[in-house]
Chains A and B, each alone.
Chain A
Amino acid sequence: MNTDKLNFVFPSKTKIISMILMAVGLVSIVCMFVFDTNVEDHHYQHNRAWANLFAGSFYFMGIALASVFFLALQYAAESGWSTTIKRLMEAVISFLPYGLSCLLLIFICGQIHLNTIYPWMAEGVSDINSPNYDAVIAGKSGYFGVFWWVRTILYMVAWVLFAWKLRKNSSDADALGIEESKGFHWKNIKLSAYFLVLFAYTSSTAAWDWLMSIDTHWFSTMMGWYVFSGMWVSSMITITLLVVWLKKNGYLEFVTESTVHDIGKWMFAISFLWTYLYFSQFMLIWYADIPEEVVYYKTRWESYKALMWAVFFVNFLFPMVLLMSRDSKRNFYFLVFVGTIIFIGHYLDMIMIVMPGTVGHNWTGLSWMEIGNFLFFLGIFIYVVLTNLAKRPLLVKNHPFLSESLHHSY
C-alpha cells in the first residue's frame, strides 16, 4: 500500500474553487435580499430569500445527518465492507454542526419576526382577539411555541453529541494498539444502537417540526420518511462522488471496486425508497381527497407543476435506467453522471417542499437566486468536509473489520 497517499491534502485548487463558490453565493444572497421584494404585499418579507437559505441549510445538514445515520447503521449491523470508506462518512458528518447552526439562526430570525417561514411564529395567531387569529394554529398551539423550541434544541444537541462521540471514539481507537482499541469499537456499536433508536423518532419529528410546519394547516404521516429518504440518498451520492473524486486524485487505492459497487447499490436502492414514499404520499392524498390534505398539492399543482414533475421523473428515472446494470455501478462516469443529476434533483425536491408554503403564488420559476444560494452552501460544504478529511488518515487503523474490507471483492 502506498503510505504517502494515506493522508489527504486539501488541494489548493479545490480550496480556491470552494472559496469562489462561497463568494459567488454570498454576493447572490445579498442581491437576493435586495431584489426579492413585493411592494404590493406587506406581509412579504424577502420570503423567497429566507426560504432559499432555509432549503440550502436543511439540504446540506440533511446530508451530514444521514451520514451519521449510515455510519451508525454500519456499526449496528457490524458490516465489514464499508470500513475503508468510514473516514469519508466521518468527514461528511463534520458539516452537521455548521448546517444546524445555519438552521438555528434562521429559526431565531423567525422568532424575532425577521422572516415568515413559519406562520405559527407570527404574532397573535392563537389570540382570539387579534386580527391575525388562526383557529387551526390556535388548536395546535400546545405543540408549537415553547415545546417546539425545546424539541428543536434537543434534536440539535443530541445529534451533534452522538456524531462527535462516534467520531472521537474512532480517532481514539487509532492511537492505541489493536487489542486495546477494541473497547472503542464496542462503545461505538452501543452508541450507534442508541442513536438509531433516537434517530428513528427524531428524523420523523424533526421533519414535521421543521418542514411540515411550514404548511401549518396541513399534515402527512408520510412526511418524516419522505424527508429522511431524500436525505439518505443525497448522503449516498455525496459519499460516492467523494470516493470517485479521491480515486481520480490518486487516493483510496485500498477501496476495492466492489466497495464502489456497493455504494452505487445504495444510491440505486434508496432512490427507489424515495420514489416510493414520494408517490405514496401523493397517491394517498389524491385518493382520499380530503380538503385539509389536498391543500398541500393544490398550491404545488397550480404554481409548481413543472418542478413537481421534474423532481419525480429525474430522481426516479435516471437512477432506474442508468444504474440498474452491474457494469454501470462499477463505472465511474455513470456514477458521477447519475450522481450529479440526482444530487441537483434532490435539491430541487427540497425547494419543492419549502417554497409553496413560504413564497406561494409569488413563485416565478427557478432563477439565479436558487442557483446562487445552492452554490454558497455547496462551497461551505466542500470546504468543511475536505478540511476535516485532511485532518486524519484516510484509512482507519485498528478497526476489527479492516482486513475484511480491504479484501472486499465479489
Chain B
Amino acid sequence: MHAKVHNLVLLFIFTLSFQLKTPHAWGFSFSTLQNHKNTYILKAKTEKLWEQTTWVRLGHYEKTLFGYQSSFKGPLFMDADGDSSPEKELLKTLEAFFSESKDLTMRYKRHPQCQFLARRTWLTKRLNIAKEDLLPCEERQAWKAQLNTQSISLIFAASDLGNPSSSYGHTFLKLINPENAKNKDLIDYGINYAADANSSEGILYAVKGLFGMYDGRFTMLPYHQKIREYINLEGRDIWEYPLNFSSAEVDFLVEHLLEMEIAKAPYWFFTDNCSYHILKTLEVIRPELDLSSRFTKFVIPIDTVKVVMRESNLVNARIFKKSLKTDYLESYSRLGFLQKKALEDAVEKLVIPSTYELSKKEEAEVYEAGMKYMAIQAYRTGKDFDDQVYKLSSERAVLGQITDEQKFNIQPPDESHDSSAIYLGSGQITKSDKNNLSSSKYYSLKFRAAFHDLEQPDFGTVHMSQTEMASFDFRYFTDIKKLSLYRFTVLDLINANPITQIDKNLSWKIKAAILDQWNPEIEGGGGMSFDFNVGESARVSYFITARTWQSDTVMHSAVGPEVLFMIRPMQDIGFSTSLTYFGVLKDEPFLRFKSKLNWNVAPNYDLQVEAENLVTGQTDFQMRAVKNFIF
C-alpha cells in the first residue's frame, strides 16, 4: 500500500517535471545542452562575432562616437544594455537560446529561439550550432510556409499629381508568393514602416512627427489593401521594383521582419523615416549592400529608389500600377470635344442625353470617365456619391465589353533628376538711374537641398510645379570683393493645378526667404491655371499675389495680379516668365518681371539663364550650370 502511494507520488512528480519541460524539450539532457552552449559562447567570444556586419545590422546599430547605438529600443533587445552593445546582446542571445528560463518565453510569448529566428539562422551558420540544439518553432514555420515568400519588390508610391508637397513619395516592400504570380499578385503582402500616429491630432501631428515623438514600427497588410489608400485616396501611382535576392536571402528577411515586429523606434519624418528603415532592412539580408550610408541628412524616398536602382544587378524590371486619378485623367484626355460636353451632363443628370448622338463606344467611354470622376469626388470631399457612381456604372454595364485598356506611356520616376543640386553661376546687376547706368558683376554658388525647379524636366514629379526647400545662394561681388549669403530660401512652392471642363482646381504658390542683411521676404498667392496645346506642354496661371519684405530696415507690403506663363517647347527645354503688378502702400507701384530658361543638357545636368528686376530700375541677369545629385 505504502509502496503504491510512493509510486503514485513518484509518477506525479515525474509527470509534473515532464510537463514543465515539454514546451521546449530538446530531447536530451540539460547538462549536454549547457556544455554545448558554453562551447558556442566560447567560439563567439574568440571570433568576436558581434563585430560582424550582419550582427550589427540585425540590431540596426549605428556607429556613434563612443561605440554603437540602435534607433530601436525595448523588446528587440534581451540584454538591458543591448541597444548600445552588440557584444552584450549577442552573448545574452546565446544564453537565452539555450536556457529553460520561463521569463523570456513569457515576455515574448514564445521561446527566444522562435522569437529571434534571423539571429538564430545566422548564429547557427557561424557557430555550427547542432541540429538537436534547435527548437522546431512549429507556429513560426507554419506561418512562414503559408506566406511562402520567395522574392520581394521595392514599392514606390509616387507623388499626388495635384500636390507638389507629396513629391517625396513613400516606399515599402512587397512579399511575393510565386503561387500568386498569375493575376493574383494583389493578394501578396506589403510590409510598411510607418509612424504609429494618430492623424486626428491635427497640427500637433506634424510637429510631433518632425521631432520624433511618434513610434515607428513595421506592419503588414495584404498588398491590395495597402496600395488602396495610395491609389484611391491620395491619387498616387505605384511603381514596383522586383529585387534580385535569392530565396534564402528572402527567407532571412522574413525571419528578420518577424523579429522586428516587436521593435519600435522614434519616427523622424525627414531622416529616420520609412525609406531609411526599408534600406536598412535590405542591408540586413546582404552584408555587401551599402545603401543607407549614401544619405547624410535627409532621406527622400525617390532618392532611395534611385540608390537601389544604381546598385548593380539588384533591380531588373519595373511594374506600373496607375492610381484612380491617373486612370481618370487618361480616360478624360482621350475624350473628344462632344464627349467632354456629354461628360459634364452625365455627372449631373447621371445619364447621357440622346441629343449628343454618340456611338455606343463613345458613350461607354464617357460613362467610364464619369464614374471615375465621381469616385474621386467622393474621396476628395468625403461625401457619399455611392448612388451616382452606381447609376453611371449600371448605364455603362449594359453597353458591354466595347472599350479597351489603353497602353499609357509614363516615364518612370526613378529616371527623374536627383533631388539636391549645386548651381555655379555668373551674373550682373544693372542699376539705371535717370542720369547714369552702373553695373556690378558677381559669381554665385547655390545649394538646393530639395527638390525641383519649375523649369526642369518634370516627369516623375508633379507636372509644371516647383518644390524648392532649403536652398542657400551665395554671391561674390567682384567690384567690392565681398562674399555673402545673398538669399536663403526656406521654401518656394508653386502648384499650378490646371482647370479642365469639369475640374475646378485651385492654383497656389508660397515662398519664404531671408535675403542679404537678414531681410525677410514672404510671398503667397492663389489663382487659376489653364493648359493649352503648344509644344510638349504649356500652361498659364493667374494669381493674386501678396508679398511682404524688408529693405533698409523698412517693411514693405504689396499686393497685385500676377501672370505666370510656362512652356516646354521640347523635352529638354523649359521656360517660364512672370509679370506681377505690385501696388505698394505709400509708395510707387512696382512691376516685377521674372524669367528663366532651363536646358537639360544631360541627365542631372542643366544650364539656366535667368533675369529678374529686383526693384524698379535694377535688373539681375545670371547664367548658371546645375548639377543635380543625391545629398
The finding on whether chains A and B are genuine partners in a shared complex, rather than unrelated, reads no
Binding site for A on B (CB under 8 A): none
Binding site for B on A (CB under 8 A): none
